[in-house]
Structure 1
Amino acid sequence: MVLHHSVILLGQMDLVWGPWAQLNRTLQVFRMPLFFAASGLFAASVLARPWKALWSSRLSLFVWIFLLWSVIRFLYFVAVPMEARPQETDLDRLLAAPLLPMSGLWFVHALFFFFVAAKLMRGRVDYRIQLVASAAMSVLFLSISSWNISWNGMGKYFFFFLAGCYLREFAFAWVRNRGSGQLVLAGVLFGAGVWALDFYELSRFGPAAFLLRVVAVAFGFLLAASAVSWRGGSVLKYLGRNTLPIYVVHVIIVAFLATLLSLAGHLPAGLRLILPLLVAAAAVCLALGLTRILRRPLLRFAYEAPEWFSGAAPAKIPATTAAHSG
């Protein structure tokens, strides 16, 4: 997700060279389905809590983070505007954000409604009916043009959140028993699917787009399980435990770095080719550094819902964003 926004913002400043735009479109089918499926994996036990506990431990955090960081993001772009992103300083869009989010914080907005909907259906609607109905909804929303990033995203990705909730044990058992052949096969199927949808112009054909995202999630789970066992896996685990702080602040950091780089004038083609990677890595490091600062008294509420809002002890950032931006 950080790389995605790095490509977009750097591209808007004409600082990207090479195949980054195409790669970004390819990864679009990979990022959010995997994110919401992973979110669902860690949501199952939370949904068993009473409504009051659910509000204090999760829902209040989502609402607080969304409202606070929407304002912080607006104020940043007012202070350091980007010519290519005038929408960031639109006050009407900010005021309408709770109903019609138009920023990269939409995933927090969607998670709130996913938790509420899943809680309302829990024990009332058979999980198989939920999965079939949400899959049909996903196919539908993948077939139509987007009118709002959050509401369309909910239609596209609610299935993956529910699948993470209800197929959690199956997913963990499958990943534990994985073989290298499964990872290779999933990767080949994903790559072939991306090529086929692009070559035959089927990106708006809902059934094919949905199946490709299912394959992408399977490939993502296998890849993640394999990656943490490689050298450097501890770093990935650390990042996985600190995803929400990275997500909420990285767009501001990337925008700031892009603005600084635009002042440097012409950049060599070789540098522009790897610039998204460098900026994304820098944004992650700076976001984690900022997290350490904001954990201090008086500043910690940048990432925690205060007691007067949550109705309980501060609702701290979960181990993963579900709690595992566009």
Structure 2
Amino acid sequence: MTTSGTFAVADRAALSGTERIDWVDYAKGICIIMVVMMHSVLGVELAAGQTGYMHLLVAFAKPFRMPDFFLISGLFLARVIDRDWRTYLDRKVVHFLYFYVLWVTIQFGFKAPGFAAEHGWAHVANLYLISYIEPFGTLWFIYMLPVFFIVTKLARRVPPLLIWGIAAALEMTHVTTGWTMIDEFCARFVYFYSGYLFATQVFALSDRARAKPVMALIGLVAWALVNAALVYDGCSEWPVISLMLGFAGAVAIIVMGTLLAKMQWLGFIRFFGEYSIVIYLAFFLPMATSRALLLKFSPFDIGTISLLVTLCGVIGALVIWRLALLVRANFLFERPAALWIAPKKKSATLQAAE
């Protein structure tokens, strides 16, 4: 498939200005809920020293939770990859690095007293500096995106199937060096690159699911059964199987998003998807706060506490966003004009992908 073919589909989709694609936002909404759920559930269980019923759902989503997010992030790259380097770096590197620097500093502001109490302020300073080499906490996703954008543009004249084959091989080797950027690049780049390379097929898949919803539902049920069987049997992280489950799960999320968009059900998920990166940046604070309060004062079981913390993380992040806009602290979620290195586009609001 040629880059121009991908561009044609993305251009038809016209994700620019105020136009958006409904199923993409639904899919991103499902993704961000799963991401917040994972951090919330595992955090509650670690603090409580026991697991709850939400652990099963987190385990079920593990094979595809990040693959689908990265695949969707690469989906519209063909529309911008041939821009000049200055514009490209501004949109795809500086943009995300601004939010990484800002929010890693905010997170350290909240966590520094605890770190200092245990190891001293010198240790806190070292941790902060290291966070620019080793991504900190929940923010590794927006740290990795600029790396993927740069690698893809640099490699755009290399035969695409060769790049894809190398990326798939890296995923199946399950590289473990202890360095997040290396390990996550090897594990996730194949999905990001697939979003870029196979955009035509992705949109065609969505069109087929919209045209044949019954068959799409049957496919979702079959996928869910196979995914659950492999996860709970302990096979989901085996080489080849992990890659297949990653793509199968990404396809399932695309189909789910398409069916929800077709029926116009659960519109709040679409809203979450539209502001998925806003949620990703800010959910740590309401998540941590609600976790501490619920574990101390709530009469609920661990599973229910995990569910409530997930809800607080998602909704609380949006509340923080609205409050920031209300008090004119727009810089928390919008890059200031002074930090643009190319002519500013109409909307500066952070988006996961163009």
2:168 aligned with 1:168: no
Residue deviations 1:267-306 (CA, integer Å, cap 9, x gap): 233xx33222222222222211221232357521112222
| Matched residue, 2:161 | 128
Deviation at 1:99, TM superposition (A): 1.5
Q: What is the distance in 2 between the residues matched to 1:19 and 1:243? A: 25
SS at 1:229 equivalent: helix
SS at 2:240 equivalent: helix
Structure 2 residue runs without a partner (length 5+): 1-34
| Matched residue, 1:48 | 82
SS at 1:47 equivalent: coil
Aligned identity (percent) is 21
2:32 aligned with 1:32: no
Residue deviations 1:217-245 (CA, integer Å, cap 9, x gap): 11111111112233434322222111111
Deviates more, 1:171-180 or 1:228-237: 228-237
Deviation at 1:248, TM superposition (A): 0.7
| Matched residue, 1:238 | 271
| Matched residue, 2:218 | 184
| Matched residue, 1:268 | 300
2:54 aligned with 1:20: yes
| Matched residue, 1:11 | 45
2:255 aligned with 1:225: no
Q: What is the distance in 1 between the residues matched to 2:238 and 2:66? A: 18
The structure-2 alpha-carbon separation of the partners of 1:183 and 1:218, relative to structure 1 and needing over 3 Å to count, comes to farther
| Matched residue, 2:285 | 252
The structure-2 alpha-carbon separation of the partners of 1:263 and 1:277, relative to structure 1 and needing over 3 Å to count, comes to closer
Q: What is the distance in 2 between the residues matched to 1:80 and 1:191? A: 43
Q: What is the distance in 1 between the residues matched to 2:290 and 2:199? A: 39
Deviation at 1:12, TM superposition (A): 2.5
Residue deviations 1:24-81 (CA, integer Å, cap 9, x gap): 2221112100000010113221222211111222311111111111110111123577
Q: What are the residue-to-residue correspondences of 1:280-299 with 2, within 5 Å?
A: 280-295=310-325, 299=329
Contact 2:64 2:247 (8 Å CA) reproduced: no
| Matched residue, 1:152 | 183
Number of equivalences = 312
The structure-2 alpha-carbon separation of the partners of 1:109 and 1:128, relative to structure 1 and needing over 3 Å to count, comes to same
Contact 1:138 1:156 (8 Å CA) reproduced: yes
Contact 2:294 2:305 (8 Å CA) reproduced: no
Residue deviations 1:173-216 (CA, integer Å, cap 9, x gap): 111111332343244234324423542x4344221111111111
Contact 2:171 2:187 (8 Å CA) reproduced: yes
Equivalent position to 1:196, from 203, 227, 230: 230
The structure-2 alpha-carbon separation of the partners of 1:197 and 1:24, relative to structure 1 and needing over 3 Å to count, comes to closer
| Matched residue, 1:301 | 331
Contact 2:59 2:231 (8 Å CA) reproduced: no
Equivalent position to 2:238, from 205, 208, 215: 205
Q: What TM-score, normalized by structure 2, do the two folds share?
A: 0.79
Structure 1 residue runs without a partner (length 5+): none
2:121 aligned with 1:96: no
Q: What is the distance in 2 between the residues matched to 1:162 and 1:171? A: 13
Q: What TM-score, normalized by structure 1, do the two folds share?
A: 0.86
Contact 1:55 1:310 (8 Å CA) reproduced: no
Letter in 2 for 1:128: L
Q: What is the distance in 2 between the residues matched to 1:283 and 1:235? A: 15
Q: What is the distance in 1 between the residues matched to 2:55 and 2:283? A: 19
Contact 1:249 1:287 (8 Å CA) reproduced: yes
Q: What is the distance in 2 between the residues matched to 1:293 and 1:18? A: 33
SS at 2:278 equivalent: helix
SS at 1:115 equivalent: helix
SS at 1:29 equivalent: coil
Deviates more, 1:20-29 or 1:229-238: 229-238
